[in-house]
Amino acid sequence: MNFLSLLDKACKKNDSLLCVGLDVDLGKTGHGTSSVTDSIFDFNKKVIDETASYVCAYKPNIAFYEMYGIEGLQALIKTIEYISDDIPVILDAKRGDIGHTAQAYAKSVFDVFKADAVTVNPYLGYDSLEPFINYKDKGVFVLCLTSNKGSSDFQIPQQDEEPLYMHVAKHVKKWNVNENCGLVVGATNAQMLKDVRSEAGNMPILIPGVGAQGGDLESSVKYGITKDRNRAIINSSRGIIYADKPGIEAKRLRDEINRYR
């Protein structure tokens, strides 16, 4: 099953547009006498067990595993293996490099870590993304408009010229020959999200920035969904995984998202 079909199936089964970011910081969770690998995996397992009925996807950010070295990467592999085959995993890696290096990154993400989709950086152009796009059954989410404060340095114009993020959206639309591309648009830029969705058509849009980053949930859902009211992937990480009861928080946010659909 290709990524888009897997995503649509998970959205329908769980009536959900919610994605949970599995960004584990042992400084917040602790690991006692357990190994780093076991500590990270056990934490993720608990979150997954409690939230799997309420999500359309999971999104581990590779940085939170790389910082623990080999043991962290082993935990990432175990975590992805543990997630049900019915729920897609988007590996947030933001890869982007020259073609030969990109081929190695694509092999790592899809053949070693076994992710269903990945985030990538378009700055180097199409040849840096082609190795990922060539994995026809995998999803490729291209950074379009990010949720961080520094996004205004390059992505948002100061005058009347067309903004960079719209150039990205238009290019990705052309590159989407395998129907496996998507875009990343931060929840902190709701009106701009509306413009991107208008250009993107039915491509999925991954929307981080809800919760700790202050993104507006109602506008993100309203402007992020397609005419069929799907393919907006609303990500929440810290607000769910560090909650006393992640399952209850995931259900609450899933249901709030659905009210805005």
d(CA 239, CA 1): 31
CB 60 within 8 A of CB 76: yes
User: What stretch of H or E contains 107?
Assistant: helix 99-107
**Phi (first) and psi of residue 233, to 5 degrees:** -110, 100
CB 60 within 8 A of CB 23: yes
Which of 202, 182, 186 has its CA nearest to residue 236? 186
d(CA 261, CA 259): 6
Residue of 46, 94, 173, 222 marked catalytic: 94
Q: Longest C-alpha distance within the chain, in Å?
A: 58
Task: Please indicate whether residue 170 is annotated as part of the active site.
Answer: no
For 73, counting Cβ atoms within 10 Å of its Cβ (0-12 exposed, 13-18 middle, 19+ buried), the class is: middle
Positions annotated as catalytic residues are 94
